[in-house]
Amino acid sequence: MKELVNKIKELKERKNAVILAHCYQNVEIDDVADYVGDSLYLSQMAAKTGAKTIVFAGVYFMAQTAKILCPDKKVLLPNLKSGCEMADMINLMQLREFKRKNPNIPTVCYINSTAEVKSECDICCTSSNAVKIVESLKSPEVLFLPDQNLGRWVEKQLGNVKVITYSGYCPIHHNIKPEETSKVKAANPDIKLLAHPECREEVVSYADFVGSTTGIMNFVKKSSDKKFIIATEKGVVDRLKRDYPDKEFILVKENLICESMKLNYLKDIYESLNNETFEIKVDDEISKKALKCIDRMLEVSK
């Protein structure tokens, strides 16, 4: 593996490339990644990079977002099968119908959405900044898509905004059942539960801290506690175990694995860089519209 890592680093330097990796990826990819984090952080890094080529170790909508932010750069996705079930739950026609049924209300789209969907929304958000984004609209009502769980969590945090949610969800987080969470919490009453806001409302109610993947990792970093229950994708726990060997982490249930996120391996990164595959392209008109949605988010998130 060390030889492959060295080959990737050599290719990266020679081709003036940067590797962005989401923290649900296979942990070995961190050995070659320039930046590892959640969707907001990676979007910010994509917008700032001076590299000629971006290799996105993530899923399709992330690579699309990088291309929209960096239209003059080559954006590569190592495995084209790396999709997102949540993003696929809403298409352009379904978005238009959702807006038709709820006219004249600002539309917020989660970053887990396609370029086409972003192109017809007012502003984008991530789990890191969703509350701030919705609040920035200064509207008594907003449409929120595609994640119903994140939308409901935002509504509860603000208290003075009606968040009308689309019926999408992340299968990984949505499949964490309240009764499973209650059982783990009851067996470990003195251990803090850290949960992602894509979890069901009932699951989040058991949490001591709710935040994005980066938020969860930062909480562990700053905490003096030695044990934690984690309610999010296994990739986060893999990194926490590596970075904090003196601490213990209990995944709230087994098999919290996003298979699409795990499709990228070091060999895929190498082949992507070496052969410059698979290049992601976005229609110019859609890209220009979607950029306004993403740029508005980045401006609010400064």
Rounded to an integer, what distance in angstroms lies between the CA atom of residue 206 and that of residue 178?
8
- Are 162 and 180 contained in the same domain? no
- Are 269 and 142 contained in the same domain? no
Domain count within the chain: 3
How do residues 226-246 score in pLDDT, each as one tens digit?
999 999 999 999 999 999 999
Asked if residue 216 has pLDDT above 90, the reply is yes
CATH code at 8? 3.40.50.10800
How do residues 11-48 score in pLDDT, each as one tens digit?
999 999 999 999 999 999 999 999 999 998 999 999 99
Q: What does the pLDDT average to over 86-103?
A: 98
- Are 100 and 163 contained in the same domain? yes
- Are 61 and 190 contained in the same domain? no
256 falls within a domain: no
- Are 181 and 41 contained in the same domain? no
Q: What is the structure's pLDDT at 66?
A: 97
Range of the domain at 247: 173-251
- Are 27 and 161 contained in the same domain? no
- Are 48 and 110 contained in the same domain? no
